[in-house]
Structure 1
Amino acid sequence: MDAEPSTQNFDVVIAGGAMAGATLALAIEQLTQAGLSVAVVEATIPDNSHPGYDARSIALSYGSCQLLDNIGVWKTLSPFATPISKIHVSDRGHFGLTEMNAREEGLDYLGNVIELADAGRVFHHALGKAKNISLFCPAFVTDIKREIDSVTLTLNDGKALTAKLVVAADGALSSCCDMVGIERHEHDFEQVALIANVTTELAHQGRAFERFTETGPVALLPMSEGRSSLVWCVKPHEAPAMLSMSDDEFAQALQQAFGWRLGRLLHVGQRGSYPLILRQATRLISHRFAVVGNAAQTLHPIAGQGFNLGLRDVVSLAEEIAKAHADGKDCGQMPVLQSYLARREPDRDTTVAMTSGLVHGFSNTTAPLILGRNLGLAAMSVFSELKAPLLKRAMGLVER
């Protein structure tokens, strides 16, 4: 008979080793000088094939790049990043538009675009090299039992891990949150995001575009090799037909919605889609348990805020954990988690309200609203102080 597997002890166990979970582990390692033992439990092994046109991308704001630099990760990520030099916002068929320009702000870039496949490999490699991080992969948590002073997690292969603190970074439908009874609010935006990588006749020159159409926003983000990453929000009933179009038909439909600012659309890669639903965990903390990243909130991609908000969660939590460690305190105790919560709630509420407001404001086709938002966009291009709050949030320069 096999012996019972022995329990391994850690200070922090992070469920989920994608960008939020991996960043949290590396931030704790950096901020405590590897003073705390961390386990990362991740179900998926990063794929080493380069998916080219089929890659999903993420826009990292200027502030996020700074945060990643502070924890020593940006240096290895930056070779894979495409800088955003300008963000161009317009409303299809109407006069309003505004532009945000890195050079005018005295910056090298407003943000960077990175393919998730590249980021996954960089983070996976960094976790493997870290002094005091143990990676359990492929593995996932099947059970969580909480005592007064510790938490015991069971993994799918029967291994048991104990920790002072468990952090859920396991995505929008977090099973760890379900296991500890943290519910989530959902709001269906009644839109579907179509995603693909496209090649355009004119070079993007680091320009990102956000164009509001009747069905929802169309965003093109600059990528490597002259490609752009497309997120096109459409009504749910339109999505199946658009996914089944030929590449040429899809390119024509996109050309009509997006316009000719990048010339002719030459090539469309493999298309994917996902429904747009705002999901928010009803609580970010519980006994010896914290929630970060998409497990905490999943936003509409309209202003590229989702991962950037999640990263601010991650670094704030890592700072609170490191502060507790420096003070010789237990990092899983409620006062530590309450400090994290107090720091995150204002930013979280404001960012969720802003993105949801943009979605509803720009997908409404009543004449007064169209006029109002176009006057707003036009005014922003004239008066920089009107643009400043939006620019600051777009760049992730936010109090946390």
Structure 2
Amino acid sequence: MKQFDVVIAGGAMAGMTLALAINKLSDKPLSIAVVEPFKADHQAHPGFDSRSIALSYGTVNTLKTLALWDDIAEVATPIKHIHVSDRSHAGMTDITTEEVGVEALGYVVELADVGRIYHSRVENDDHIELLCPESVAAVERSQNDVTVTLSSGESICSKLLVAADGAISTCCEKVGLELVEHDFEQVALIANVKVQAAPKGMAFERFTESGPIALLPMSEGRMSLVWCLKPSEADSVMSLNDEAFLQTLQDAFGWRVGAMAQVGQRASYPLLLRYRRQNISHRFAIVGNAAQTLHPIAGQGFNLGIRDVATLAEEIAASAHDPGTYQVLSQFKNRRERDREATISLTSSLVHIFSNDYLTMRIGRNLGLAAMDNLSVLKAPLLARTLGLVTR
């Protein structure tokens, strides 16, 4: 039976970042296995698909310390200005690089690009073995190790198993960690949109009575769209032809980026808050979407996941010889608790405040946006979360 120090279930963003981070931070290399069902060049790879994500300023700094940023920077588009507004109402606020004093508020990357970079890095790392296509079929834990049976029937052994296998984590189910779910009763519609006016680093979050619309700057005059809609509306909008879709989007978003000129392939998925209260168990830890999957409002989910990954990598690197001890895992849990709870709570509160059109809510959020634009004391906490400047 092959022996590893750490087995990571899931080779998408969280899992791959963790695999590469551990030995960057460790004095002595650890042997790591990454168990991944989908090959990187497979068009259907769900973790490195056609979506784009926004990496916060804090996440970029973390990736720099892990020596992962330079390659990603070549395929990243900087966010220089974030405009937040409420459709048909006065409330709005702006966040700019000049105001904050940074080169970029964050960066937009296409997951497919990052997937290629990460897989190339892993293939050239003698201490990481990518087991693909494979998935976890069974987990058996003893006092000192974990035995993982793979879908091929092969068994591998390690000191620690890390679940980075997505919101519906097979590993968490096999270990018996409860999943808490809340349905936001919204659907996220995602696509890349070409716009008349080049985005020039502008990102937009526009709140409508159906839910928020986010447009993030990309290369070649494109913007990454995340449009949150009520399920019945989402079905209707998804069924439109491209011309009718662009017109409907134009009506909802307005003309801040000129005419919506072209739309790429569209996809949609239901929006649920999914999280596990416990992010550790015996010789077992959870990171990324397996630990918590958030509503995309304010773009917090992935950046929270990277903070999980970086903290776990630090604790593993600091462990003398056994990364799966109770001391290592409890330290990871304690360091992550406050940030996890605060970010989950903030995200859910924003959805409630900005996704309905009750008069009291509308007045309150518009007063809030207006005050935030003029009072730095109100803006500072949101800025810290937006930039990912959060204590780990």
In the superposition, the TM-score normalised over structure 1's length comes to 0.95
Query: SS at 2:377's partner residue?
Result: helix
Q: 1:189 Cα deviation (Å)?
A: 0.2
Equivalent residue number for residue 14 of structure 2: 20
Q: Provide, for residues 169-214 of structure 1, a one-character-per-residue CA deviation record: whole Å limited to 9, x for no partner.
A: 0000000000110110000000000001001100101111000000
The answer to whether the aligner puts 1:187 opposite 2:187 as a matched pair is no
2:327 corresponding residue in structure 1: 335
- The aligned runs of 1:52-91 (5 Å cut-off) are 55-91=50-86
Alignment partners' CA distance in 1, 2:304 and 2:19? 17
Deviation at 1:283, TM superposition (A): 1.2
Contact 2:40/2:119 (8 A) holds in 1? yes
Per the alignment, residue 137 of structure 2 pairs with: 142
Pick from 339, 356, 366 the counterpart of residue 358 of structure 2. 366
Match of 1:353 in 2: 345
Number of residue equivalences: 389
Match of 2:170 among 167, 175, 178: 175
**For the structure 1 residues 295 and 357, does the alpha-carbon distance in structure 2 shift closer, same or farther, using more than 3 Å as the test?**
same
Q: Is this contact kept in 1: 2:193–2:225, CA < 8 A? A: yes
* CA contact 2:210–2:356 (8 Å) conserved in 1: no
Q: How does 1:170-249 map to 2 (within 5 A)?
A: 170-249=165-244
Find the residue that maps to 1:233 and give its secondary structure. Answer: strand
Distance of 1:322 and 1:183 partners within structure 2: 28
The TM-score with structure 2 as length reference comes to 0.97
1:386 alignment partner AA: L
Quote the residue 2:372 is aligned against: 380
Amino acid at match of 1:312: R
State the 1:156 CA deviation: 1.0
- Who is 1:3 aligned against? none
Distance in 2 between residues matched to 1:44 and 1:79, nearest whole Å = 25
Q: Do the aligned partners of 2:97 and 2:105 also contact (CA within 8 Å) in 1?
A: yes
Give the CA deviation at 1:33: 4.4
Q: Answer yes or no: is the 8 Å Cα contact 1:29–1:133 preserved in 2.
A: no
| Alpha carbons 2:138, 2:174 under 8 Å: kept | yes
Report the residue type matching 2:7 in the other structure.
V
**Aligned-partner Cα distance in 2 for 1:168–1:16:** 7
1:260-275 pair list within 5 angstroms: 260-275=255-270
Q: Take 1:71 and 1:131, find their aligned partners in 2: how far apart are those partners?
A: 17
Contact 2:27 2:317 in 1 (8 A): no
Which residue is 1:258 aligned to?
A: 253
Indicate whether 1:391 and 2:383 are aligned.
Answer: yes
Structure 1 residue 385: deviation in Å?
A: 2.2
User: Percent of aligned positions with the same letter in both sequences?
Assistant: 58
Distance 1:69 1:159 in 2: 36
Correspondence 1:31 to 2:25: yes
Q: Any unmatched runs of 5+ in structure 1?
A: 1-6
1:48-77 superposed Cα distances (whole Å, 9 cap, x missing partner):
77x9xx821011000001111111110111
After TM superposition, which residue ranges in structure 1, 4 or more long, deviate above 4 angstroms?
none
* Runs (5+) with no aligned partner, structure 2: none
Contact 1:42/1:136 (8 A) holds in 2: yes
1:15-48 CA distance string (max 9 Å, x none): 0010000000111010014521111111111127
Secondary structure of 2:348 counterpart: helix
CA offset digits 1:120-157 (Å, max 9, x no partner): 11111111112311111111110111011000001111
Q: CA RMSD in A?
A: 1.4
Q: How far apart in 2 are the matches of 1:228 and 1:33?
A: 42
Contact 1:199 1:268 in 2 (8 A): yes
**Residue-by-residue CA offset, 1:313-351 (whole Å, 9 max, x unaligned):** 000000011111xxx242101111000000001000000
Query: Which of 114, 118, 123 is residue 128 of structure 1 equivalent to?
Result: 123
Q: What amino acid is aligned across from residue 138 of structure 2 in structure 1?
A: D
Equivalent residues of 2:288, 2:305 under 8 A apart:
yes
